[in-house]
Structure 1
């Protein structure tokens, strides 16, 4: 076990009975006997068997926290004052850490780069293909063409996701994905965690920007995780409306950038 480094993980759940067990077990497999750690499962009023499944995973490092469903960022902030770790992981309930080697790469990078406050790894689909989440700060135009299809203003869309980078270089990141983030716990606390005004969407963009103001955020593709991505906003008008509200809040807070 490595000394002087401890880890914490927060998974905010809402009706994730099909995926939550694999996510938790992947963390335990990657971390056990390597680092001291704590896994917080913050449940946002699930109505399926999510909590029942979590309770069946009897492990001393798991703590279940009940929360009212006030959004993704609020859920992660519920445990903010409890965190005593060196590094904190923000994890979606549909993520799997590939192995202990990937985790060790992330920890080593943070240990060797004390100026870095946030690390975003390479995020892969279950078939091993890349999810293009190495993104720039959004503009209204970028948000609009997101719904227009991949063929509309294709070069602009490729620029937004930094496709020319090849996704094989360590580079600064402006807009990390909240599906999986590694943050220094003291930096996460210093910026006040997530802005709870966002119910869903853009809270990860906002957090990246806040962290970049006092340290730096980096895309580190030498480490990777697997994400069973479901684009809820593409299927349901309710999620589109939530996204538009969050975009407004983000632009109102940071300044309107049209293109």
Structure 2
């Protein structure tokens, strides 16, 4: 995206070309360092003076400021802390009014290809009807991770998140359809209904128009809800030229607290967007 295409704020000042927000809660510091290193490399081809990284710390973990200084050398960053654990979406929304012409919502467990951001910005510049990009993703072992989803039936959520492998194998075709694995290969795919919040590259004006995440979601499904709302005002594109490796997910493996949060957010999601059983 060119310098000339940058937006101006109400005072006539040039907004950042690209802003990035990461919300962290008791992070694995090695994983976070790898994320910051890959982000730094991906930002290098861009004008560093026009980029800014926001880190919103929902915990009291020590050493974060030093980690940022070591891994974001030459890149402007802003550490927000002291507000406690206010939830994923609400934390991202703390910097909503400061987002740039393009804004990346990024998880702290992502390693992206060095050309991921260049590819994403180029796509947004060439496709002015696109408001949100989702990337090609893999697990750390190299297997595909599917970030696009159809509207989830409760059966799909339970099957994907909690069923044993034997039952998942029995319904493998259904899971593949839910995860849109056939549609999201090596070609651009337009208008997936839902995309993951681990890497959401927004056109800034669309992100701000939507008001960011719905703060009623503490954790889980806030990305599903935001993607559905995005699809009502702009187009979403799966862009395989933007590639990432994602470590996260697996709510069921994180213990009872996460399962309860998952269930609470699922109820809210269905209340807002409509229930689908099967």
TM range (shorter): over 0.9
Which residue pairs with 2:222 in the alignment?
Answer: 203
Between the aligned partners of 2:108 and 2:151, the Cα distance in structure 1 is 25
In structure 1, the residue matched to 2:21 is 10
Cα deviation, residue 152, structure 1:
4.1
Which string of whole-angstrom CA distances, capped at 9 and with x for unpartnered residues, describes residues 92-149 of structure 1?
A: 00111210x2221111111011111110010122233211222111111211212113
Alpha carbons of structure 1 residues 32 and 116: separation in structure 2 relative to 1, 3 Å: same
Q: Is the 8 A contact 1:20 1:54 kept in 2?
A: no
In structure 2, distance between residues paired with 1:197 and 1:142: 23
Contact 2:103 2:204 survives alignment (8 Å): yes
Of 216, 219, 222, the match for 2:238: 219
2:121 matches 1:107: yes
Deviation at residue 199 of structure 1 after TM alignment: 0.9
- Deviation of 1:192 (Å): 0.7
Task: Quote the Cα distance in structure 2 between the aligned partners of 1:102 and 1:47.
Answer: 29
> When the two structures are aligned, how many residues end up with a matched partner?
257
Kindly report which structure 2 residues correspond to 1:106-185, keeping only aligned pairs within 5 A, or say none.
Answer: 106-146=120-160, 147-149=162-164, 150-165=168-183, 167-171=185-189, 172-185=191-204
Inter-CA distance 152–70: structure 2 relative to 1 (3 Å threshold): farther
For residue 38 of structure 2, the aligned residue among 8, 15, 26 is: 26
- Give the corresponding residue for 1:50: 64
Cα separation, partners in 2 of 1:98 and 1:72, compared to 1, 3 Å: same
Deviations 1:178-204 (A, max 9, x none): 111100111001011000111111111
In structure 2, runs of 5+ residues without a counterpart are 7-16
| Alpha carbons of structure 1 residues 236 and 130: separation in structure 2 relative to 1, 3 Å | same
- Which of 233, 252, 256 pairs up with 2:271? 252
Question: How far did residue 237 of structure 1 move?
Answer: 1.4
Q: Are 2:45 and 2:118, in contact at CA under 8 Å, matched by a contact in 1? A: no
Match among 44, 63, 88 for residue 103 of structure 2: 88
TM-score, length-scaled by structure 1:
0.92
How far 1:59 sits from its partner (Å)? 4.1
